[in-house]
Structure 1
Amino acid sequence: MANAWWGSHLLSPGADDDLWAVSSAPVTRGQLRTAVADLGRVFREQGITEGSSVLLRMKPSFTYIHVLLALWSRGAQVTLVDFRLRPAEYEPLVDLVRPQYVVAAAGAEGPVAGFRQESGFTVQRLPQGRPAADGIRLVQFSSGSTGRPKVIGRAAASVLAELDRHAALPGIPGPRDRVLLLNSVMHNMGLVSGVLHALAVGATLIVPPTLRPAEVVRLMARTQATAVYGTPVHYDLLTRLAGRPELPALRLAVSGGERLPQETYDGFRAHFGVPVNPVYGLTEIGLLAGDLTGTCVPPQLGPPVPGAEVKVVGDELHVRMDSSPYLYGEHADRFTDGWLRTYDRVHQDPASGVLSLLGRSDSLVVVGGLKVDLAEAESVLLAHPRVSEAVVTHGEVIEAYVGADRALTPDELVVWCRERLSPVKIPKRFSVLPRLPRNSTGKLVRDRAQLRGRVTSESSSQVQGER
């Protein structure tokens, strides 16, 4: 993203003493501008300039946002990596993208301590790194159906176009809104729909220092939040609060990342007096569909937003794009003749154009708002020396069915997975059988009902456990 764009579109709206964001303490627009300018000088001294490639791995904080904006102000291509990844997940990503610089939090290990005001970081130069891909400014990862992550590159024009689609959506937060953000700022909805949109329109961003529901609601009341952005998991937690919180300023709740359960939708509306409005997007292109009027209910996603061109082929959603979003020549099968195959199964109402989510046509699922590729968990299990077969499925939770000798226990598999997978990807239930069922052509059965039936029929010899 060109330096001039950041100055004129994101950092310029509002006076220096205007409130930009609130967490454990407030941050003004002037403080934001100063922090970004100071960090820009730091990165200039490090040699980061137009066309540099930088991998950013920090815990959520205002410093993280300042660093990202400062790197973009230098014209750098920034690759975002979740700090929660295990070394076995993180190191292959570094080898794959080969950045020239790594900006990482000082003391990045350990559990999440909530959103921070400030955090230290280090800058490391990697002599063998390769420069930025032509025109690409934002690089993110998304799980692929083969277990190998997709490397997604977005140009400045792609993010600008997404912000335009946000601005055209009726009911979207504007300059007078105070937006409480529960989504992670490391992922697309939190970053673009939350941080960048608020910056662009002059809204005030509210980021809770903790996600404990009672404290989140107290912060919403104290700041008079008018909108809240989150995932179904966040809304489910908020509905568990006793009583009905008094939040008279709240007018809008927005959910993305996965299908919103009907009970969560009903519970939040009963507790807070406003419906949860769905939005739908992809890491590859951002916001594509949504409804903020309160008329769409699960599993409806809303109509395509202005500026998005989609079509339904069979029951799969395809999206028009100028070029493939995938870097390094991978996943070419997903992009053909200007159309990206999403692998999301949908129904589109012929009269209203409203899209309803039916499910996935590959191994990708969403857990807690995060995309998880079941094939990745299968690959990790198959790497165990005593495992011969593995099928991982998803219903209410991720389940693993493993063919192995009878001495192997679920506890051993949990330990094995914890060393190689981030927590959200680890199966919650393990069933160990001497052999897994196969169909008439010899392929492993992947139907959950059939697998559960085999577990029941072999209960005398199988080992079963739940985390």
Structure 2
Amino acid sequence: MAGAMAELVTRLFDAHPGTGPYLAHGDDVRTRGDVRAQVVAEAAVFAGAGVTEGSTVLLQVPPSYTQVQAMLALWSLGAQVMLVDHRFKPAEVEAVKQVGRPQFTVRGGPSGATPAFAREYELLTARIAGGVPASTGHRLVQFSSGSTGVPKMIGRTPASLAAEIDRFARVEGMPGPGDRVLLLSSTAHSFGLIAGLFHSLARNVTAVFASRLTAAELLATAARYDVHAVFGTPFHYALLATAKEIPPLPSLKAAVSGGEIMDPAVAAEFTRRFGIGVGESYGTTETGVLAMDVSGRLRPSVGRAAPGVVLRIEAGEVEVRLDEGSPYLAGGGDRYADGWLRVRDRAELDADGRLHLRGRGDSLVVIGGLKVDLGEVETALRAHAGVTEAVAVHSGTIAAYVVGDTTPADLLAWCRERLADYKIPREIRVLPRLPRTPNGKLVRRHDVLRAAAVPA
């Protein structure tokens, strides 16, 4: 596996050498040659700091040119990149370090929310005492919420990433050579990273970024570059549908939503305003894309299995064939067995092979395209000295119900120090007791908990 990630990066750049544009942000358009030169320069700096083949590096940089170039530079050296969301709070980053044991951290820019894609951040590279080199061939490592508060560590090999890039290229309707895609999905997560950045590099597509997260700015950017496609989350499409005026977008032919399943009403409103359907890209951090429909014509399904993906439904839940072995480097429990990964999404396959999702089969929920395990929220709340019991539920937003000697304001401040903003409950209630089932289990139904919070 030595050098496989560096070879993949080289192959992606070599696919379309020359002066064609790769990244565009405002007046700053960077060709493949520009980005490649910057990657080479960044790699020299990282190598000077001691990063080499198999080094483990925690990368936490907001979405930006800097983030893209740092990732590619580290991979060109053969490093294992632990990609951490810039919104993670210090306590969450520390938990990642305890699980992943990186040898280096590369950080830049502010933590917490940022308005949109930026251009440049100054990077700070530091060596961590006690870090260990990679013991496997995985070169992209991401972290998912764990119900105990300990993050699951998920690895992707160069072969897995290369296969997914090829998979996207074979999906009907994906942007192709010379096209421009307005990339709204986060480049720190799978859809934005692979479908957005890597697919664009492989297929001679220009990835376009907006400066501010407003409907007017997104549409102005789309019009300025006459984009052919939009990649985003349901939040982005709901935002775009609120625009007072829609500029001419003569080349727009595709819009794809990833990260969470879109409310049909949002899809319908976007189609009414823009005249094109919104497709779905369904996948997981562990596997990448599983099913996809770019056209938006296969709703309410999420489309058919992507090329090369083998799916089945067992006990009403999605399972996917993974021949490389378990993607979990830490955590994951019994989700992988005998070559099959249990995705934990309830679903059905119709006679035409289209996948229809029916909700989650565990405590994982999706907030703004980002996955949150409600068990992690409960663990954070129970760590408060004044809390004896806690239940977190999701009904559009996260709500928490606790028993203890504390206040909602105190618990909100507690959570803000320990959880990324998108994981923080939007409602916290302190109750004298939590409802339980006849056999003593805590009730996790929002309507029952809300009723218990209303004074008799």
Structure 1 residue 278: deviation in Å? 0.6
Could you tell me which residue of structure 2 aligns to residue 179 of structure 1? 181
2:345 maps to what in 1? 344
Name the SS for the 1:199 alignment partner: helix
Residues 1:319 and 2:317 are matched in the alignment: no
- Whole-angstrom distance in 1 between the partners of 2:65 and 2:140: 18
Equivalences, count: 451
Establish whether residue 4 from structure 1 lines up as the match of residue 7 from structure 2. yes
What is aligned with 2:396? Answer: 396
Residue 39 of structure 2 is matched in structure 1 by 36
1:415 equivalent in structure 2: 413
Write out aligned runs for 1:51-450 (5 A). Answer: 51-105=54-108, 107-109=109-111, 111-298=113-300, 300-322=301-323, 323-328=325-330, 330-349=331-350, 351-405=351-405, 408-450=406-448
8 Å Cα contact 2:58/2:82 also seen in 1: yes
What does the per-residue CA deviation read over 1:35-81, in whole Å, with 9 as the maximum and x for residues that have no partner? 01111222222221111111111121111111110111111111001
Offset at residue 113 of structure 1 (A): 4.5
1:365-410 C-alpha deviation (Å, 9 max, x unpaired)? 00000001111111111122222211110012111111224xx332
Question: C-alpha separation between the residues in 2 aligned to 1:114 and 1:445?
Answer: 39
8 Å CA contact 2:317, 2:344 repeated in 1: yes
Contact 1:278 1:296 in 2 (8 A): no
2:442 maps to a residue whose letter is L
Question: Shift in Å at residue 235 of structure 1?
Answer: 0.6
| d(CA) in 1 for partners of 2:354, 2:146 | 27
Displacement after TM superposition at 1:114 (Å)? 2.7
How many angstroms apart in 2 are the aligned matches of 1:133 and 1:216? 42
Please state whether the residue corresponding to 1:214 is helix, strand or coil: helix
In structure 2, how many angstroms separate the alpha carbons of the residues matched to 1:240 and 1:141? 33
1:109–1:317 Cα change, 3 Å: closer
- Higher alpha-carbon deviation: 94-103 or 109-118: 109-118
**One-letter code of the match for 2:394?**
H
Contact 1:57 1:80 in 2 (8 A): yes
1:400-457 deviations in whole A, cap 9, x for unaligned?
Answer: 111224xx3322221121111111111111222100111111111112222222223x
Which digits, 9 at most, give the CA deviation of each residue in 1:102-146, with x for residues without a partner?
1111x5346414322211101111232101132111100112344
Distance 1:233 1:170 in 2: 24
Q: Contact 2:75/2:81 (CA < 8 Å) preserved in 1?
A: yes
The aligned amino acid for 1:117 is R
Partner of 2:139: helix, strand, or coil? strand
SS at match of 2:329: coil
Amino acid at match of 1:366: V
Measure the CA separation in 2 of the matches of 1:244 and 1:50.
49
Identity %: 46
In structure 2, what is the Cα distance between the partners aligned to 1:17 and 1:114? 26
Gaps of 5+ in 1: 461-467
- SS of the residue corresponding to residue 141 of structure 2 reads strand
Instruction: Name stretches of at least 5 consecutive residues in structure 2 with no aligned partner.
Output: none
Q: Which has the larger displacement, 200-209 or 408-417? A: 408-417
The answer to whether the 8 A contact 1:280-1:301 is kept is yes
Q: Distance in 1 between matches of 2:349 and 2:150?
A: 31
Query: Following the alignment from structure 1 to structure 2, what is the Cα–Cα distance between the partners of residues 250 and 231?
Result: 17
Q: Look up the SS of the partner of 1:196 in the other structure.
A: helix
Cα 1:158–1:385 shift into 2, 3 Å: same
Moved more, 257-266 or 243-252: 243-252
Is residue 47 from structure 1 mapped to residue 45 from structure 2 by the alignment?
Answer: no
1: CA distance, partners of 2:409 / 2:14: 54
Could you tell me whether the CA contact under 8 Å between 1:145 and 1:362 is conserved in 2? no
Q: Which residue is 2:21 aligned to?
A: 19
TM-score (norm 2): 0.96
Separation in 1, partners of 2:76, 2:53 = 9
Q: Indicate the larger mover: 167-176 or 192-201.
A: 167-176
Structure 1: distance between partners of 2:304 and 2:112: 41
* SS of aligned partner of 1:136: coil
Preserved contact between residue 226 and residue 250 of structure 1 (Cα < 8 Å): yes
Contact 1:324 1:335 in 2 (8 A): yes
Shift of 1:240: 1.0
Aligned equivalents of 2:112, 2:241: Cα separation in 1: 29
| Alignment correspondent of 1:464 | none
TM-score, L = length of structure 1:
0.94
| Alpha-carbon offset, residue 341 of structure 1 | 0.6
SS in 1 for 2:334: helix
Q: CA deviation at 1:355?
A: 0.6
Q: Secondary structure at the match of 2:328?
A: coil
> For the Cα contact (< 8 Å) 2:20–2:204, is it kept in 1?
no
Is this contact kept in 1: 2:142–2:154, CA < 8 A?
A: yes
Structure 1 SS opposite 2:230: strand
Specify the SS of the correspondent of 1:419: helix
Q: Hey, what's the Cα distance between the residues in 1 that align with 2:388 and 2:5?
A: 52
